[in-house]
Structure 1
Amino acid sequence: MIKWTVGILIAVLIISGIIIKMVKSNTELTESIETIQAAYVTSVIDNESGLEKGKVPPNFELPTLSGEKVKLTDYKGKIVILNFWASWCGPCKVEMPHMQNYYKNNKDATNVEIIAVNMTSEERGGQKSIEKFVKEYGLTFPILLDNDGIVMDLYNIITIPTTYVIDTDGVISQKILGPMDDKMINELVENLK
């Protein structure tokens, strides 16, 4: 009985060692692939599209939820927080209250505008999902609808939320991948004043 138990224990340890080695090897391979992909994506985004820091981002015109047409160039002379999001995106749900809080507290006192471009072509529930999200989070800044995904493609949006901070000269100051909070938004804006 003891030999049997010891044998099973040794077999479990050997199998565990093999599994750990395979997972570690797979993790290193995955990290290498992700590093290469990130370098390629950064290269494509930064060198070919004009979306890197210090460049003027592509202009676009999109409708708002109420049907008005808005152009990015309408906001030249202001600091623009240009955010790409979707209603099903968990990190977007975390970020939106912070953006709304900043907007509510600063829209009249600063030269800052928040523009949230909904990736409407990727929405799972259509415009009703967007309207429900906007109401639930009490969003009062402009919500633009990228119905055909053209702006999403133009800005090479792969991860959401993605935010571009554009200075008063209409030049990209920062690109943020992932959710922002109040502190980050304040710091990004303060660095441009």
Structure 2
Amino acid sequence: MAFGGQSQQRWGDNSINAADFIRDFQLTDLAGRVCHSFPTRGRSWILFAFFGLDGQSAQTLKVLQKLADGYKESGKLTVWGISQETDETLVRAFAAENGITFPVMLDHHLYHSGLYGIPYAPAVFLVASDGTVQRKALGHKPTVLSDMSKRIAAFAEIAEPVEI
């Protein structure tokens, strides 16, 4: 008995979009610190990225590290990486190899990826203090990341955005 080709269907992007409100979440980073989005976004915008251990994710995380470093003094941006790989040893090595110093968490059982409808990694979301998504990038998208930098600079009241 044959069943229609559902397994071959291509599903669209069901991830959160600009102007959507994110559900708050709590994860523990690799250093054992609890990272909770609700109180954090009350103090700053959050830039979070779901990532894998691949070249596109590495490129994206390096840009996010540049943004984290560039806006650190303003106190207006928090950057988090959420790994879809859950082997802590592999994730630590990947983060170290790529010079990532911002908090990195593990998405056990891809729970949060499912919650946000992440179709693939990297997936980056810029979230304002009120919880609304300002911008998203699926895949390594330098022009979108540059636009995120401009939005962060405007929010932080910094004349020159960090260049991507």
TM-score (norm 1): 0.67
Question: Which has the greater radius of gyration?
Answer: 1
| Unmatched runs of 5 consecutive residues or more in structure 2 | 1-8, 157-164
**Aligned sequence identity (%):** 18
Identify which of structures 1 and 2 has the higher relative contact order when contacts are C-alpha pairs closer than 8 Å and 6+ apart.
2
- Please tell me whether residue 130 in structure 1 is matched to residue 91 in structure 2: yes
**Does the 8 A contact of 1:102 with 1:185 survive in 2?**
no
Structure 1's unaligned 5+ residue stretches are: 1-35
The reply on whether 1:63 has 2:50 as its aligned counterpart is: no
CA distance in 2, matches of 1:156, 1:183: 24
Q: Distance in 1 between matches of 2:147 and 2:139?
A: 12
1:93 aligned residue (58, 67, 80): 58
Against the structure 1 CA distance between its residues 67 and 119, is the aligned structure 2 distance closer, same or farther, given a 3 Å change threshold? same
Is the 1:120–1:148 Cα contact (8 Å) retained in structure 2? no
Query: What's the counterpart of residue 161 of structure 1?
Result: 122
- Coordinate RMSD, CA, aligned: 2.2
Secondary structure class of the residue paired with 2:74: coil
Aligned residue runs from structure 1 range 107-118, under 5 A:
107-118=72-83
Deviation of 1:110 after TM superposition, in Å, equals: 4.3
Structure 2 residue aligned with 1:145: 106
| Aligned amino acid, residue 41 of structure 1 | G
SS in 2 for 1:108: helix
Q: CA deviation at 1:53?
A: 2.1
Look up the match of 1:189: 152
With over 3 angstroms needed to count, the CA separation of the structure-2 counterparts of 1:178 and 1:113, relative to structure 1, is: same
Change (3 A) 1:191 1:175: farther
TM-score with structure 2 setting the length: 0.77
Separation in 2, partners of 1:103, 1:127: 22
CA distance in 1, matches of 2:88, 2:31: 11
Distance 1:92 1:192 in 2: 26
Q: Which residue of 1 aligns with 2:159?
A: none
Runs of 4+ in structure 1 deviating by more than 4 angstroms, as ranges, are none
Instruction: Give the number of equivalent residue pairs.
Output: 145
Query: How far 1:91 moved relative to its partner?
Result: 0.5
Offset at 1:41? 2.2
**Higher helix fraction (1 or 2):** 1
Partner of 1:27: none
SS in structure 2 of the partner of residue 62 of structure 1: strand
Contact 1:97 1:137 in 2 (8 A): yes
User: Does residue 1:106 correspond to 2:106, yes or no?
Assistant: no
